[in-house]
Amino acid sequence: MKKLFYLITCGLLFVACSSDPDFVPEPPISLVSENILVCNQGNAGSDNGQLSYYNAITGTITNGWFRNVNSAKLGDAPNDVIQVNDTLIAIAVSGSNIIQYIHPDGTTCGATENIPNNRRLCADKDYLYVTSYAHVCGSQTFTKGYVAKVDLRTKEVVATCEVGWEPDGISLYDGKLYVANTGGYSYSEPHDYESTVQVVDANTMRSIKTIETGCLNLYGNISQAGPYLCINSCGDYYSVPAKTVILDCNTETVTTFDFPCTYSTTDGKMFYSVGSIYSYETGENTYYINTIDPENKTVSAGIYNDAITEKIKELDVPYSLYMSPYTGNIYFTDAKDYVSSGYVYGYTKEGKAVFNPQKVLICPGNILALPNYQRQQ
């Protein structure tokens, strides 16, 4: 896409300077549809994580897309996926301890294999940043967890920074990494749940400060709308309740709400969330569906309209929520019973279904939209 943009830009400059009356510039390109990529986590430890790919032009879904394209397994528990640029997608395959890179057509183009128990991803134009629960990275050792910085040209780790116990969500704002610490292994390791966000200089990979949120177990992806971050707090599943944390990166102030945001997404202004509270005492989940205005610190029930909100309420196990940055469409998944095939759903902001519910694979998690462009006639 960058190459195409460059060619179009050069063409426009040529028109401005050319005296050739026969020169006709190429028509502009426009978005016509978007394909959808779904990371199916599979059963943990079973090495059956797979990708599902919905082709908007043909209206068909391909399950096991990575395997079909590359004649190889993706790995165990793909946990996160981001599009780094127009030609590169990064997938955190946590259970297999690799970061897998693919092109938008699904073909592999390298891997980073020395970040065990990798969790979540963010990137700038040159580097990928990866959180890890592990205590090693290559020859380096850490007391707690860490963030690794990967050079996207070589796919090699070039720097690391130790942060808190079991760091999970990560986001980049104004040259700084914001890392949510969970302490999620407190049940098996000698430490408590964490309640902090670590701030790391992305250039030097040095820890700058620690922000106390007052909320335990900051687990899951972080959604970002400008300077605002939406972070889920799971609590301790017993007496400490789950909450939603809104962090203003400019002022480093924290606002909390008394409901979880297990899965959240954004249109760049508002946050949309589906939260679940699991109780070990009752063995049940309670779900919350909300829209959050981070600037005004207000909350309204539901997402856009009744059609979307009611459909989410009908799901057996809501397992992801994603808003396309290209169309504004809302996509979400249902993990059903965690061991059988799930489904992915898509709606416009007006509540119209983008496609019929599509059957995917086990534990369908993170979603990524891939735009289709064509030249105007």
pLDDT in tens, 312-350: 999 999 999 999 999 999 999 999 999 999 999 999 999
Phi (first) and psi of residue 142, to 5 degrees: -140, 145
pLDDT of residue 112 exceeding 90: yes
pLDDT score for 21: 60
* pTM confidence score: 0.91
The percentage of residues in the chain with a pLDDT greater than 90, rounded to a whole number, is 84
Distance CA 22, CA 111 (A): 48
Residue 32: CB atoms within 10 A of its CB come to 12
Distance CA 88, CA 73 (A): 19
Longest alpha-carbon distance in the chain: 78
pLDDT score for 3: 40
pLDDT of residue 23 exceeding 80: no
* pLDDT interval class at 40 (50, 70, 90): very high
In order, the DSSP letters of 209-249 are EEEE-S-S---SPPEEETTEEEEEE-TTSSSS--EEEEEET
CB 115 within 8 A of CB 133: no
Q: Which residues contact 283 (CB under 8 A, 6 or more apart)?
A: none
Find, among 199, 208, 203, 207, the residue nearest to 227 by Cα. Answer: 199
